[in-house]
């Protein structure tokens, strides 16, 4: 047996031991489902919170602006794992909710602080003349913001929002701290059961890469559609 054949045989045996024996691959499949559920709900919550906080930060009212700046500073200044444990073990300790929903809320609150700055920058990037044009057409401030400014800002900030979604998917790897069996936790379980670190960690890395690659390609297609109306 050549060295290459021996390496392939060892790799195959290790793959079988880590993923096939005792149907351990099902742990990873379940973990993928948990990661996707948490990430999707978290990004929706993050966008909603981010929009509200961005409007607070752009407000001329000092109290509202102060609230927005405090929220952003506190969330961005503390680790996401600490926020997750505070929300799970303290705030929602007595609330009867599924673990993944609580985790998604925690990540959504965390993401909202970063999304708010992205949205704020996007709104400020729209020429002020667009606002003046809307007001001259008889639109009020809310209508001008929602019908003219924000649609233009979305195209400018879409790549940054996609990047935030990608970061969010990778950040969910810490949900094991609250007992959720996500991709990373499934890999850790397999590592403990087989006493092998390479294959489970390599497998989880490949799964994360494939998920993010698929998301990147999908978001790129959406960006192309959004940019069709641009004249360069």
- Place 229 in a pLDDT band, splitting at 50, 70 and 90: low
pTM summary value: 0.88
pLDDT score for 14: 86
Average pLDDT, the chain: 88
Reported as a single tens digit per residue, the pLDDT across 179-192 is 899 999 999 999 99
The pLDDT tens digits of the residues spanning 184-217 come to 999 999 999 988 888 999 999 999 999 999 999 9
- Give percent of the chain with pLDDT exceeding 90: 53
154 band by pLDDT with thresholds 50, 70 and 90:
confident
DSSP assignments along 66-120, one per residue:
HHHHHHHHHHHTS-HHHHHHHIIIIITTTS---HHHHHHHHHHHHHHHHHHHHHH
């Amino acid at each position: 047996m050549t060295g290459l054949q021996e390496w392939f045989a060892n790799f195959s045996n290790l793959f079988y031991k880590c993923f096939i024996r005792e149907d351990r691959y099902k742990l990873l499949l379940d973990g993928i489902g948990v990661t996707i559920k948490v990430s999707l709900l978290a990004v929706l919550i993050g966008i909603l919170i981010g929009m509200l906080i961005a409007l607070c930060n752009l407000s001329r009212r000092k109290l509202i602006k102060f609230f927005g700046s405090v929220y952003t500073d506190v969330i961005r200044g503390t680790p996401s794992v600490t926020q997750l444990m505070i929300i799970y073990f303290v705030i929602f300790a007595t609330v009867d909710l599924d673990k993944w929903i609580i985790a998604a809320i925690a990540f959504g609150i965390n993401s909202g602080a970063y999304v708010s700055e992205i949205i704020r920058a996007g709104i400020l990037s729209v020429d002020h003349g667009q606002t003046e044009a809307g007001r001259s057409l008889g639109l009020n401030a809310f209508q001008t913001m929602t019908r003219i400014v924000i649609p233009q800002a979305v195209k400018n900030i879409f790549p940054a929002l996609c990047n935030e979604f990608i970061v969010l998917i990778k950040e969910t790897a810490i949900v094991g701290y609250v007992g959720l069996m996500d991709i990373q936790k499934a890999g850790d379980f397999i590592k403990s059961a087989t006493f092998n670190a390479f294959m489970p960690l390599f497998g989880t890395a490949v799964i994360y890469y494939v998920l993010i690659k698929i998301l990147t390609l999908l978001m790129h297609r959406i960006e192309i559609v959004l940019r069709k109306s641009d004249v360069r």
